[in-house]
């Protein structure tokens, strides 16, 4: 039983039918043991350190520790494809008209521009205590059905993520593994592995990647991302956040992002990664690399939630065949999102929790969401609750949630002090 939604996705002088396939996993005790779950990103200007602001490791109260979330152009044609799986084969009422809904197993999946399928919900692994990640990853994969794991070199837990994947007993081939290439860190998310290239490694992509592969105990990644479009001095006074004598971030202004992307394409061609993408790239930054790119980024991971929906950028990404991926889907620690009047209203209307609505809202819009927890009950409820919400939300609900930012509630929670113009709307002046 399949419902199809067809439309045209154009890129430059080529138009192709955009198709998405979605299946969802039905909620068995979908609201089990749930409290409002918050992200732990802190806004710039707070007591959060640079590492916390960029890597999402802000200080948490003890009781909040596991409630944090981290949670081509030029005439190319694309096929946008999403899948959402439910054990009971419930049909999701997908909002995005560019998506085709079908049934499948393993949770929602969105087809990338290279034909690979990425699970629409992933397990975040940042800010977890030593010893917690392995159990959380194994449980999420084996008991709940996650197939996308989000981690990072900077988190210091890649080895645990790899151990958790192996402990799950599920074949590596069934897991989507993505990693972000940031200055010196990679971050795997969901079932599969994702990691990121940190700024201080922009000139040494393969070297950074090899470290991550060794940490994870795998010979390839499903997804590798450039964490920030900010090359940092690789010979600076700090491996993550080098500073100039005047106290400003030591940005390597001589390095060209296009060269970073060429190296990303090279490791893809070598087979060390299956898919490459970016993170925290605005339209302006993407336009720096797209004109010369052989391979269009498959994913752009961004801070996306009801208070920072970035409608214009998301529309741009989809026009280029780039799938948006949301970190901080619940905002930050003590964020107002879960208590927002409209969010609470929509949740009550459908018998959901506000957290379900916040994550399901993104999935229903064809955006990959990355909530985080190490508590089994919450790992399960984050998954089933969000998919239930994605199934139940109606077009009017999506429209109302889409309008919250424009109604004066626009807010970013992640604004690290990069002394460069990133090209985002609603970004505080930090130059």
Q: How far is CA 177 from CA 214, 261, 278, in A?
A: 14, 20, 15
Q: Is residue 98 part of a domain?
A: no
Range of the domain at 72: 33-48+58-79+115-409
Q: Which residues of 212-229 are buried (b: 16+ CB within 10 A; e: fewer)?
A: bbebbebebbbbbbbbbb
347, part of any domain = yes
229-275: pLDDT as tens digits: 999 999 999 988 899 999 999 999 999 999 999 999 999 999 999 99
pLDDT, residue 37, reads 25
Note the pLDDT of residue 55: 55
CB burial of residue 238 (10 Å; 0-12, 13-18, 19+): middle
CATH number of the domain within which 186 lies: 3.20.20.100
Q: Tell me, yes or no, whether 423 lies in a domain.
A: no
- Please identify which of the residues 155, 189, 224, 307 carries the catalytic annotation: 155
Q: Using an 8 Å Cβ cutoff, are 358 and 337 in contact?
A: yes
Confirm if 226 and 281 have CB atoms less than 8 A apart: yes
Residue 129 is assigned to a structural domain of this protein? yes
Is 261 a member of any domain?
yes
Chain-wide mean pLDDT for the chain? 75
To the nearest 10 degrees (0 to 180), the angle between helices 132-139 and 158-168 is 40
Strands annotated E in 191-291: 192-197, 223-226, 276-279
Is residue 4 situated within a structural domain? no
The answer to the question of residue 274 being in a domain is: yes
* pLDDT for residue 47: 38
| Parts of the chain with a pLDDT under 50 | 1-48, 56-95, 97-105, 178-191, 431
SS3 call for 238? coil
Q: Is 155 a catalytic residue?
A: yes
- Residue 50's pLDDT is 52
Token pair for 85: 């799986």
Gap between the Cα atoms of 84 and 422, Å rounded: 33
Model confidence pTM above 0.85: no
Query: Residue 430's pLDDT is what?
Result: 56
The pLDDT value recorded for residue 54 is: 53
Dihedral sign from CA coordinates of 378, 381, 383, 387? negative
Report CA dihedral (44, 194, 355, 425) to the nearest 10 degrees.
40
Give domain status of residue 8, yes or no: no
The answer to whether 295 touches 268, Cβ cutoff 8 Å, is yes
Residue of 221, 241, 238 lying closest to 230 (CA atoms): 241
Residue-level pLDDT at 410:
96
Q: Per the structure, how many domains does the chain have?
A: 1
> Distance (Å, rounded) from C-alpha 341 to C-alpha 322?
32
């Amino acid at each position: 039983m399949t419902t199809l939604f067809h439309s045209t996705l154009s890129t430059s002088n080529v138009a192709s039918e955009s198709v998405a396939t979605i299946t969802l996993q039905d909620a068995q005790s979908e609201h089990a043991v749930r409290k409002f779950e918050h992200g732990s990103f802190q806004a710039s200007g707070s007591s959060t350190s640079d590492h916390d602001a960029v890597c999402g490791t802000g200080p948490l109260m003890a009781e909040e520790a596991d409630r944090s979330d981290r949670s081509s152009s030029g005439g190319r044609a694309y096929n946008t494809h999403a899948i959402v799986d439910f054990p009971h084969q419930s049909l999701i009422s997908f909002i995005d008209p560019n998506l085709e809904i079908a049934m499948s197993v393993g949770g929602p999946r969105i087809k990338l521009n290279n034909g690979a399928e990425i699970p629409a919900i992933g397990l975040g692994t940042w800010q977890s205590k030593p010893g917690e990640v392995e159990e959380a990853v194994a449980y999420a994969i084996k008991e709940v059905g996650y197939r996308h794991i989000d981690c990072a070199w900077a988190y210091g837990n890649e080895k645990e993520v790899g151990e958790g994947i192996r402990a799950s007993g599920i074949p590596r081939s069934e897991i989507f593994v993505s990693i972000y290439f940031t200055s010196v860190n990679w971050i795997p998310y969901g079932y599969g592995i994702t990691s990121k290239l940190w700024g201080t490694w922009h000139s040494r992509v393969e070297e950074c990647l090899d470290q991550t592969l060794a940490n994870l105990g795998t010979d390839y990644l499903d997804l590798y991302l450039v964490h920030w479009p900010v090359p940092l001095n690789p010979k600076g006074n700090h491996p993550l956040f080098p500073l100039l004598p005047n106290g400003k971030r030591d940005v390597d202004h001589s390095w060209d992002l296009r060269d970073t992307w060429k190296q990303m394409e090279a490791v893809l061609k070598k087979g060390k990664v299956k898919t490459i993408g970016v993170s925290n790239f605005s339209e302006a930054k993407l336009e720096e690399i797209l004109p010369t790119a052989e391979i269009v980024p498959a994913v752009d991971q961004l801070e996306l939630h009801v208070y920072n929906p970035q409608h214009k950028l998301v529309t741009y990404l989809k026009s280029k065949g780039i799938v948006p991926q949301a970190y901080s889907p619940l905002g930050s620690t003590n964020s107002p999102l879960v208590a927002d009047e409209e969010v609470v209203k929509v949740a009550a209307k459908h018998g959901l929790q506000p957290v379900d609505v916040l994550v399901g809202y993104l999935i229903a819009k064809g955006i990959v969401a990355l909530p985080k927890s190490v508590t089994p009950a919450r790992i399960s409820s984050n998954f089933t609750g969000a998919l239930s919400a994605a199934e139940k939300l109606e077009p009017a609900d999506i429209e109302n949630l889409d309008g919250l930012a424009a109604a004066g509630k626009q807010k970013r929670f992640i604004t690290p002090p990069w002394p460069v113009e990133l090209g985002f709307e609603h970004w505080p002046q930090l130059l």
